[in-house]
Structure 1
């Protein structure tokens, strides 16, 4: 686990996103996600049992919800609370740079 959220980043041509668990306790997981141009597969939707709060720390991304017509453009500092079971996907992350997310997964109330 890095001591700095901007340390130990993957190569900019990495084939897969990098998921690093930073903290785990009952009902709570904090992870850093680093994208380098990846997106969700076509027609794939995340539908998680737990709620998730995210903040984009670096880069840019388009995040789409199944119940919204347009994707949301996220830039550094933007954050969202995603309810458990709400379908969402990553339409795009900025290629040629590190898009760094901080995600907090928590048990649904």
Structure 2
């Protein structure tokens, strides 16, 4: 047995991505942020759908069409494949812990 809260990174200068499970049809990823956001020029445009929940902290997802959605602890969203998006904000003074499920 493992915990989503185990082995959290001490380095807060970069965002950390860790695959918990990876198969042909699904990938479950833990993401740890400390004030990071996506590069201004970088939009995610994924071939798979993404269901994401915030387990700790908060973050804002911006969509190419201008919508912005802030997720607080416990909030989740499903992002359809090829919905161009980016993370525009995460809490700077506290960890934001995301759990993302990518599926086809």
What secondary structure sits across from 2:78 in the alignment?
A: strand
Which residue of 1 is the match for residue 38 of structure 2?
A: 40
Runs of 4+ in 1 over 3 A off after TM superposition: none
Which residue of 1 is the match for residue 101 of structure 2?
A: 104
The CA RMSD measured in Å over matched residues stands at 1.4
TM-score (norm 1): 0.88
* Aligned residue among 41, 49, 53 for 1:55: 53
Which structure shows the bigger proportion of residues in strand conformation?
2
* Structure 2 alignment gaps of length 5 or more: none
TM-score (norm 2): 0.92
Which residue of 1 is the match for residue 80 of structure 2?
A: 83
1:10 is displaced (CA, Å) by 1.6
CA distance in 1 between partners of 2:2 and 2:47 (Å): 29
* Structure 1 alignment gaps of length 5 or more: none
Which residue of 2 is the match for residue 9 of structure 1?
A: 8
1:90 is displaced (CA, Å) by 0.4
Q: Number of aligned pairs?
A: 104
